[in-house]
Amino acid sequence: MRSAWMAITMIVFSYSRSLVRANAATLTAQIRTKYGKAQGRVYDFGDNGKVGAFMGIPYARAPSGEFRFQKPRPPRSWRGTRRFTQFGPACYFLAENRKPHMPPIRFDEDCLSVNVFTPLDKDLKVKSKLPVMVYIHGGAYVMGSSATVGDEGIARILVTKNVIVITLNYRTGIFGFFTTGDANAPGNQALWDMKQALEWVNENVEAFGGDVKNIMIFGQSAGGSATHALLMSPTTKGLFHKAAPMSGSTGENGVTQPALIRQQMLDLAKFYGFQPTNENSASDTNKELLKFMQSLEPEKLAMGGALNVNANYSGNGQFKMVPVYDNDFLPGTLEDLKQGIHDVPLLTGNTEFEALAFFGKGNVYETAIAMATYYTKGDSMLAKAAMDFFVDKSLPQDSEEFMKQCVLVVSDIIFNKDIYHLAMKSTEKKNPVFLYTFKYFRPTPATERYPFQGSMHCSDLQYLFGLDENEVYEPTPDDHIISEQLSTYFVNFAKYSDPNGENQTEQWEPVAQNSSIPQYLSIDVNATRLQPNFMEGRMEKWNEIDQQVNSARAFTKMSTLLLSMYSFSGATTTMRMLT
């Protein structure tokens, strides 16, 4: 399954090549942050205005040495004026299968930086009181960086609409989620990084022309899941005022117990030669484990996340790197956390065929069964029941309708059900919830490897952050139309907490409170319209499946119990007869 995430992450990277039109000699006016003076580079878009890009600004000190696997620390101040004109180094991850046209990635543990893109006036000075959009990149929590979504596209498509956009790096994989399950290394470093970045934004965004009282967080895939985690954490209240998780939320697969991560890390350390002095003492072992892992070269840790150390971890033996219940950032159970979700305006949604990105042209049904089983934590009964319920087996297996039904089952399990539950839980609060499905799709040579053509995981990103104009992918007029439409919705939500904008006809209505059948906006070129039932009625069927499977499990357990009681009773009677 890791290879599927790697493949889709490469799709994101393929759209991240920035079309830099900035004049390197043109710098912004100086601004004064809490930590020192800064200058950025200028993008000139003619009649659409100028944008300042302040890239690679540290929001925390290097989490290296004894500070590896610990919470981030505020950055150091600097003297004089620093120029921030290019992306800072990425946090370590394993970068496989990169395309030839992609520039090499610079890795460093001193990677916790933000990029601030802000509109400029004619004197190259920042403006004031602008809405702020803070984006969290995806990558399955194991890869990616703020450079994934580029710079010029953000400046051209979003920032020229008079908002500030901030992207950030955070620790991924082992660096971001290592834990000993105790005070030595409680875990969730990645989430603490995001919180520290938001604190930096609150301290400094006014210097860049931002409104500290109007901050929106948004993210896609794992970034969407992280956005949901930030929404549920009691530690982040007041740091943002609205949220937009895209194609991701925190469900049962998105958070785990620290003991699982701890065991994975112990096995990896032993693979690298770790020998605990007294493995019977968890406390002593944890201290030694932390020191050992802090002593390893970062390249080894980045590589370690891909090693097949123990096939019990997942279907392919790869580590499960996700947030943990740490009694701090994420205290209590998942249900407890959902109850405490922040009461802020929410915009969330999916693409039409999310999981299509993970399929090739092989046996779609068998792939769907395998993925459904994997993402239900090995629950083959639930996976088979879902496939039996949703897939019409009278259809030819190579028919598009049959393959779409298979893909939708997997899409629901990995993405859609949790997005539905996030939206429904949020409607219990007073603020509005806007739900969407992104359906626009334009085939390219790169999409021919999929079993059918349709909007999939990450299909929307290029229209929000910039189209990669190269010899393989040349944007069409429809591409530009949908890009303008999608970006306007997100900018309006950042400005007004309403994607319709100010004083406009309300095309996109919020989800009705206490409704189990939420309406949503179907987004497509010349076909965007409000639709009555998110997931096209499948959620009601999923509830039926869950009830049937739970009843079957209860019957099986009762039958097993009765059988064991009968066997015990029969054995007792036999013993009496023999005596």
3-state secondary structure 283-344: HHHHHHHHHHHHHCCHHHHHHHCCCCCCCCCCCCCCCCCCCECCCCCCCCCHHHHHHCCCCC
| Residue 146 bears catalytic tag | no
Work out the angle at residue 538's Cα, subtended by the Cα atoms of residues 217 and 393, and round it to the nearest 5 degrees.
Answer: 130
Work out the angle at residue 229's Cα, subtended by the Cα atoms of residues 218 and 88, and round it to the nearest 5 degrees.
Answer: 55
Q: Would residue 363 be called left, alpha or beta, if left means φ above 0 and alpha means ψ between -120 and 50 degrees?
A: beta
Do 308 and 317 touch, CB atoms closer than 8 A?
yes
3-state secondary structure 439-464: CCCCCCHHHHHCCCCCCCCCCCHHHH
Would you state the structure tokens that stand for residue 507, as one six-digit string? 């095309």
Q: What is the DSSP letter of 413?
A: I
Distant-in-sequence, close-in-space partners of 21: CB < 8 Å, separation ≥ 6: 43, 44, 152
Distant-in-sequence, close-in-space partners of 239: CB < 8 Å, separation ≥ 6: 195, 198, 199, 201, 202, 215, 230
Cα separation, 38 vs 32, in Å, equals: 6
Q: What are phi and psi of 133, to 5 degrees?
A: -115, 115
Count Cβ atoms within 10 A of the Cβ of residue 559 and give its class: 0-12 exposed, 13-18 middle, 19 or more buried. Answer: exposed
Do 512 and 519 touch, CB atoms closer than 8 A?
yes
Count Cβ atoms within 10 A of the Cβ of residue 30 and give its class: 0-12 exposed, 13-18 middle, 19 or more buried. Answer: exposed
Q: What is the DSSP letter of 85?
A: B
Do 324 and 330 touch, CB atoms closer than 8 A?
yes
Cα separation, 165 vs 158, in Å, equals: 8
Amino acid at 491: V
Do 60 and 35 touch, CB atoms closer than 8 A?
no
Cα separation, 307 vs 321, in Å, equals: 13
- What is the SS3 assignment for 50? strand
Cα separation, 359 vs 526, in Å, equals: 28
- Write down the catalytic residue from 221, 459, 483, 497: 221
Do 308 and 316 touch, CB atoms closer than 8 A?
yes
Q: Would residue 503 be called left, alpha or beta, if left means φ above 0 and alpha means ψ between -120 and 50 degrees?
A: left
Distant-in-sequence, close-in-space partners of 199: CB < 8 Å, separation ≥ 6: 74, 239
Would you state the structure tokens that stand for residue 523, as one six-digit string? 């987004």
Integer CA distances (angstroms), 139 to 9, 46, 184, 354, 398, in order: 6, 34, 27, 15, 31
For 134, the enclosing helix (H) or strand (E) is strand 130-136
Cite the active site residues.
221
